[in-house]
Structure 1
Amino acid sequence: MDTTDPEITFDAGGICSHCHGFDRNIRPHWKPNAKGADELSALLDVIKTVGANKPYDCIIGLSGGVDSSFLAVKIVEWGLRPLVVHVDAGWNSELAVKNIEQIITGLGLHLDTEVIDWHEMRDLQRAFLRSHVANQDIPQDHAFTSALVKKALQHEITYVISGNNFATEGVLPQSWGYDSMDATHIRDIHRKFGEAPLRSFPILGFHDYYVTMLQKLRFVAPLNLIAYDKTAAIALLEKSFGWRYYGGKHYESVWTRWYQAHYLPAKFGYDKRKAHLSSLIVAGTMTRDEALAELERPLYTDNELATDTAFVAKKLGFGDEEFAALVHAPPRHYQEFRTNEGEIRRHKWAENTMAQVRAFAERVKAIPRGVARRARGVLAR
């Protein structure tokens, strides 16, 4: 990473805050080893037990990308019975559709597709472009999570299995965007710049997401408990399922490809490849020299950029000049709009505190009884 993250710092040896943050906050929870294998085995037993008398014992979202496709393969290998959900927000590339079909057919799974009302999705995305904030993926990401959560609750599924992983996502500057699950933020931007009501768009309010949902569902990321290697995963998917790579992380969506490879660099100077490649470096699957060589490659060829820009502008209903003006207008910070940031921060603090208390309680349980009694006596004073 570099100073395109305004919050980055470097120590006397030139090591950046992201590297230190990974070692301090992430590495202790990343277990691509025997300990992770034991935790995964225990987790799978719990998922199977909790879902034993239900049609599905877990739910996963399938975008057709590397992580979610590989996760689907592993879930079948682990003997789970997933409800597989694809949320269609209107931006799937033809290759993504084909890849999803190859995975579902090859694994013998059923796909439940949730289609987001395109008129509402388009209106919300137009509003976000007019807001000039950095995280233009909020409408799409919020829809994906909300639809998946509602499916889980509808089918009384406890375990939501995510393809999120530290091996490829261990570094991401917080200054480059904002929380996609802040409904207050979404509604304020839509109120200011939207043109039509959002009647069916799946919005999860603060209480629904951070309280009710997190009490009823368990989100787990099992790729953090195995030796997940993106290159090896791609090779397996290509060989066993005829899956084909998109050329970039999250490029299964035409919108996300354009947003990450053009909008962010042109308007904010953010090249998301730096975060993605930095994640691979701290995970030990790529060298710094290899990452620098990758960054030398252009984000787009001129023809590809022109094609995608014309496609996105037309699909969103913008003329060429208006669309270009939106991209090159001065950027704005998300805090210029209403948010639930303070409440979210307080909730996450409480959540982390409770997690630490539970972890301490587990450690106390492991102490011999006599010592444990003395420890509890000290704590009670």
Structure 2
Amino acid sequence: MKVCTRCIYDERVASITFDDQGVCNYCKQIDDLKIQYNTGEKKGEEELMSIVDRIKEDGKGKKYDCVIGVSGGTDSSYMVYLALKWGLRPLAVHYDNTWNSAIATENIRKVLGKLKVDLYTHVTDNKEADDIFKSFLYASVAEIEASTDLALAETMYRAAAKYNLKYVLEGHSFVTEGITPVGRNYFDGKYIKSIHNMFGKRKIKTYPLMTFAKFMKWTLFKRIKKIRPFWYLDYNKQQAREFLEKEYGWTYYGGHHLENRMTAFFHSYYMPEKFNTDFRNNTLSALVRNGEMKREEALRLYSEPPHLENELLAYFKKRLELSEEEFTRIMNLPTKSWKEYPTYKKRFERLRPLFFILAKKNLVPMSFYLKYCFPSK
């Protein structure tokens, strides 16, 4: 199997290509973004501080000047600390799909409590959330976590609009995480609604669905900007984690994206077992690119099975009321792709020039433009 000579992405990754030196196109994408955002350089920091000044100016006279999505994970927790360090007055925003681990909930409480930051939370009815999750299982597609990712984005927009705020800060770093290729990792409001209409049993009442119209409302009309400060900074996740542990009693939850039990099931079991896909290659590849891990070590770790939390499978089956027979049947269903269900993807592609402008103005993330606005192979 062909593997990138610089990271550990291999030929199973969607839309991957290799140059004459065997370096993949995703490594080059990271290089291009570093140049575009002056990541880790003085100019990048200056650009970010200029944005911070604009946030302060726009927030004068308001209780808050920005919102920050929090999950209890490393990046979002550290993002709250940095915002206060820069003199911002953030409102922390959390979407609760009712699958949070106790560690994540405690991390949010510890960090926000000590920093005295207010929390805005949207909690979806647990039966409704589970019905959406089950509908994706029955559809036999990969993106069983899609509803959570989109709901967090919608919840942050709603919170920003409620308090008349124009800035959303997100704790994402393409340097430490990469940008996950759109292969088995797609989501939009039409996709979620169509899957749920086909396989769900409950009406959507409490779930914050982001339709295309709402997406345009937040970006074009409300003009709420999404800023990812780590794209400009020399951000080190390990140092951030150690700082949080020391200052706030924050607790590590065992791995990237494992702070939520549904997300843990998705990464640790569902994707590797049903789709032969292991998203640890994103973080491991980033560590190799950054010189924080030897390529051989990353390949060794990647060859080992993902960590599976004790009792996670039992909890998953009980929570979703799946018998052993039904769970086995679901896992053995022929796999399907998001391309087999209705989505907004073609519309995003047709509107690529518009989304390029919006991305340059920070009205949509640049990663959205790069992932969603080009035809997928």
TM-score for the superposition, normalised by structure 1: 0.88
Tell me if structure 2 keeps the 8 A contact 1:261–1:300. yes
User: 2:306 is matched with which residue: 299, 303, 315?
Assistant: 299
Tell me if structure 1 keeps the 8 A contact 2:30–2:175. no
Residue range with higher mean Cα deviation, 254-263 or 107-116: 107-116
Tell me if structure 1 keeps the 8 A contact 2:160–2:168. yes
Partner of 1:254: 261
Partner of 1:320: 324
- Structure 1 pair 283–347 and aligned structure 2 pair: CA distance change class (3 A): farther
Q: CA deviation at 1:328?
A: 2.6
User: 1:342 is matched with which residue: 342, 346, 363?
Assistant: 346
Q: CA deviation at 1:28?
A: 2.5
Runs of 4+ in 1 over 4 A off after TM superposition: 353-358
- Percent identity, aligned pairs only, is 34
- Structure 1 pair 247–297 and aligned structure 2 pair: CA distance change class (3 A): farther
- Structure 1 pair 132–357 and aligned structure 2 pair: CA distance change class (3 A): closer
- Residues 224-263 of structure 1: pairs in structure 2 closer than 5 A: 224-263=231-270
- Structure 1 pair 198–224 and aligned structure 2 pair: CA distance change class (3 A): same
Q: CA deviation at 1:314?
A: 1.1
Q: Which is higher, the Rg of structure 1 or of structure 2? A: 1
Q: CA deviation at 1:208?
A: 1.2
Tell me if structure 2 keeps the 8 A contact 1:266–1:328. no
Partner of 2:44: 36
Q: CA deviation at 1:279?
A: 2.2
Provide the aligned C-alpha RMSD in A. 1.9
User: 1:184 is matched with which residue: 181, 186, 190?
Assistant: 190
Higher helix share: 1
Paired residues in the alignment total 352
1:196 is the counterpart of 2:202: yes
Q: CA deviation at 1:110?
A: 2.0
CA distance in 1, matches of 2:164, 2:360: 28
- Structure 1 pair 245–297 and aligned structure 2 pair: CA distance change class (3 A): farther
Q: CA deviation at 1:195?
A: 0.6
Partner of 1:46: 54
Tell me if structure 1 keeps the 8 A contact 2:72–2:108. yes
Partner of 2:295: 288
Tell me if structure 2 keeps the 8 A contact 1:133–1:331. yes
What letter corresponds to residue 117 of structure 2 in structure 1?
L
Tell me if structure 2 keeps the 8 A contact 1:33–1:227. yes
Q: Partner of 2:351: helix, strand, or coil?
A: helix
- Residues 1-381 of structure 1: pairs in structure 2 closer than 5 A: 1-178=9-186, 180=187, 182-209=188-215, 211-215=216-220, 216=222, 217-300=224-307, 304=309, 307-353=311-357
TM-score for the superposition, normalised by structure 2: 0.88
CA distance in 2, matches of 1:321, 1:129: 14
